[in-house]
Structure 1
Amino acid sequence: MDANDGFRELDRQECLRRLARAPVGRIVYTRQALPAVLPVNFGLDQDGAVLVRASASSGLVRAIGGAVVAFEVDEVDAATNSGWSVVVTGAATLVIDLAEHARLLRTGPRSWAPAPKEVFVRIAPELVTGRELVGGRTLYGVHRPS
């Protein structure tokens, strides 16, 4: 970390801990050759993979199957000018193994918008990065002491 940039890099384990506490994240993917971002609720699997439960007929599922996507979560406190952000980048694949699908029905995330036919999307944690703003600015632009 550059001593003047105000950010602290988070290691992979800290990133995964913060991911596990967040209720909602954003999938960043390509739709019709343009970037698209969609907020979703999610869960983490034992290996740190991001799991999303979605309607099998959704545009999201059609767009991301097999594609490399980014998944981002954050927490911001405007009152203290602080926060953190974690990004997982990896291939998004549909869970097609019947035993795995059955396990995820029991243990995986529940969709906030249930659909008649749901599938699970797994985002492999190939690259996990994060950073935390430490020593944010006051309303008057002066760094707070650490």
Structure 2
Amino acid sequence: MIEDLAVYPDDRTVRELTQDEALDLLAATPLGRVVFTRNALPAIRPVNHLVEPDGRIIVRTRLATRFGGAVRANAGVVVAYEADEIDPVRRLGWSVVVTGVARQVTDPVLVARFEQLLRPWVGQVMDTVIAIEPTIVTGIRLLPREDEPTRP
């Protein structure tokens, strides 16, 4: 609405992130959201993750979940993965979206490694490790305008 423009002046700017910047920010935060298809509709689930040096995003889930079952039932499922850190008061921060193919990790050595590195954030057994291979990586950083004094 027009009134909102007066209350929230355009005092921020958006800067596009490089792929490396986006993956670095993603690696520095522990939680994100995976977007997948459920009954031909988009579904979103919060999960914790880690980012491998090659850019793959690793998550653990249960096979019984809709996401785990969708990945296991197919050779690869196109998903999106999103994470952000945005201050709602100052309206500053960043957002990263990765689109790619999710596949179940079946190599026992890798599964054991990821089970040690990535602890579930809920009190349930996570019996499936999934790797998302990034195809499209985008991100933005919300910054104060150049002429605005920098705040600590």
TM-score above 0.5: yes
Shift of 1:88: 0.9
The answer as to 2:102 corresponding to 1:92 is: yes
Q: 2:87 aligns with which of 77, 81, 85?
A: 77
Residue 4 of structure 2 is matched in structure 1 by none
Alpha-carbon separation, structure 2, partners of 1:116 and 1:57: 11
Contact 1:95 1:122 (C-alpha < 8 Å) held by counterparts: yes
Q: What amino acid sits opposite 1:67 in the alignment?
A: V
Structure 2: stretches of 5+ with no match in the other structure? 1-10
Contact 1:55 1:114 (C-alpha < 8 Å) held by counterparts: no
Residue 9 of structure 1 is matched in structure 2 by 16
Alpha-carbon separation, structure 2, partners of 1:128 and 1:117: 27
Alpha-carbon separation, structure 2, partners of 1:74 and 1:37: 15
What is the TM-score of this pair, normalised by structure 2?
Answer: 0.80
Residue 139 of structure 1 is matched in structure 2 by none
Alpha-carbon separation, structure 2, partners of 1:54 and 1:114: 12
The answer as to 2:54 corresponding to 1:47 is: yes
Q: Which runs of 4+ in 1 moved over 3 A?
A: 114-117
Contact 1:86 1:128 (C-alpha < 8 Å) held by counterparts: yes
Shift of 1:23: 1.6
Q: What amino acid sits opposite 2:34 in the alignment?
A: I
CA 38–117 in structure 1, closer or farther in 2 if over 3 Å, else same: closer
Q: Which moved more, 1:98-107 or 1:48-57?
A: 98-107
Shift of 1:117: 5.5
Q: 1:111 aligns with which of 108, 116, 120?
A: 120
Aligned pairs, number: 136
What is the TM-score of this pair, normalised by structure 1?
Answer: 0.83
